[in-house]
Amino acid sequence: MSKFDFDSLRKELEEKGAAIKSLDEAQHIRNEFAGRKAMTAASGSISSIKEPAERKEYGKAFGAYKAFAVQFTDELLQQFERRAKQQSLDLTLPGSRFHSGSLHPLTQVQNEVIDVFRGMGFSVETGPEVESVFYNFDALNTPEWHPARDLSDTFYVDMKGEDRLNWVLRTETSPVQIRVMQTKKPPIRIIAPGRVYRSDKPDATHTPIFSQVEGLYVDEGVSFADLKGTVLAFYRAMFGSDIKTRFRPHFFPFTEPSAEVDMSCIFCGAKGCRVCKHSGWLEMGGSGMVDPKVLDVVGIDSEKYTGWAFGLGIERIAMLKFGVNDLRLFYENDVRFLSQF
């Protein structure tokens, strides 16, 4: 009887071969089943077989096993060598491009606005986006009948356990001004950038969420002339030194007198074009002298101090700066759009 049962050896090799997972294991299996030592051990006992027919049969079985074991382990090795090559770095391949992220265009513009006002001595203040009706309307001198208070214009927040609607998603960043005036003494010179919410149906010029920057300056002897000078300096820093501004009388509850700010059209040099509707001017935002009633509410002596405030839209500036004609693009966050900035 032969010392080796080649059939079960073959079976063992096939089973082990099917289970291996790495080139190292493939090399190990090759040594174990088809290496010189393994083959010497398998063929060694042939000399102890005396019967020639049996010896011949044993030799045939060994030869068949040897051929099988070499071929089987060779294929295993090749398979794992190929796999290892695919996984390693191929320096002849073209490089894959690395896509780095960038700041959202609205963030870029907001940062630029903040930089300009910081340069003029303003500090940055922020406040909550869920705001009380007191800070968002009452303290800002918004009359009870004012349409901004309507449920159809403002997102009210229904707080559990409260029987009336006391909270809103802030409709402007002005509540930040109230909070600052309550806690700080003049001179106050701040800007308040941030998101605000209004119940608008989205179209090319409206979105229910947008970003504002408001500025506030309160001190002794602060005049409308200071407001005009500061606003002009800001728009020149953003759009160029030949920019002009004009102030048109308007009404805002928070300020008295109030004015809308127009900037000379950057597309036609104030000559008149389609963008400025042939007027030469672009509407940019609101402004005015802080109503003395507002100063009284926050405990600042309105006999001694005066102040002004202005507001502007970040999206409005970004649309003009980047030539974007649909506000919604800033909020859809399509990477094909965003990657252009």
Q: Which residue is nearest to Zn ion (CB)?
A: 265
Q: Give the HSE-up count for residue 189: Cα atoms under 13 Å, Cβ half-sphere.
A: 14
Axis crossing angle, helix 36-44 with helix 23-34, rounded to the nearest 10: 30
Taking the least distance from each CB to Zn ion, the nearer of 82 and 271 is: 271
Question: Whole-number minimum distance, CB 263 to Zn ion, in Å?
Answer: 11
Amino acid in the structure at residue 107: T
> Which residue has tokens 């950057």?
266
Residues 6+ apart with CB under 8 A from 113: 191, 193, 213, 234, 238, 312, 314, 317
Four-CA torsion 52, 55, 59, 61, nearest 10 degrees:
120
Question: Whole-number minimum distance, CB 323 to Zn ion, in Å?
Answer: 13
Nearest residue to 187 (alpha-carbon basis) of 311, 309, 305, 299? 305
Taking the least distance from each CB to Zn ion, the nearer of 214 and 262 is: 262
Question: Whole-number minimum distance, CB 311 to Zn ion, in Å?
Answer: 23
Provide the binding-site residues for Zn ion, judged by CB under 5 A: 265, 267-268, 273, 275-276
DSSP 8-state assignment for residue 13: H
Taking the least distance from each CB to Zn ion, the nearer of 68 and 267 is: 267
Question: Whole-number minimum distance, CB 324 to Zn ion, in Å?
Answer: 16
Taking the least distance from each CB to Zn ion, the nearer of 126 and 279 is: 279
Question: Whole-number minimum distance, CB 89 to Zn ion, in Å?
Answer: 56
End-to-end CA distance of the chain: 83
> Which residue has tokens 């005009």?
228
Rounded distance between C-alpha atoms, residue 247 and residue 249, angstroms: 7
Question: Whole-number minimum distance, CB 239 to Zn ion, in Å?
Answer: 13
Question: Whole-number minimum distance, CB 242 to Zn ion, in Å?
Answer: 14
Taking the least distance from each CB to Zn ion, the nearer of 133 and 276 is: 276
Taking the least distance from each CB to Zn ion, the nearer of 267 and 331 is: 267
* 3 state SS for 215-253: EEEEECCCCHHHHHHHHHHHHHHHHCCCCCEEEEEEEEC
Question: Whole-number minimum distance, CB 262 to Zn ion, in Å?
Answer: 11
Residues 6+ apart with CB under 8 A from 90: none
DSSP states along 283-302: EEEEEEEEPHHHHHHTT--T
Taking the least distance from each CB to Zn ion, the nearer of 236 and 293 is: 236
Taking the least distance from each CB to Zn ion, the nearer of 224 and 267 is: 267
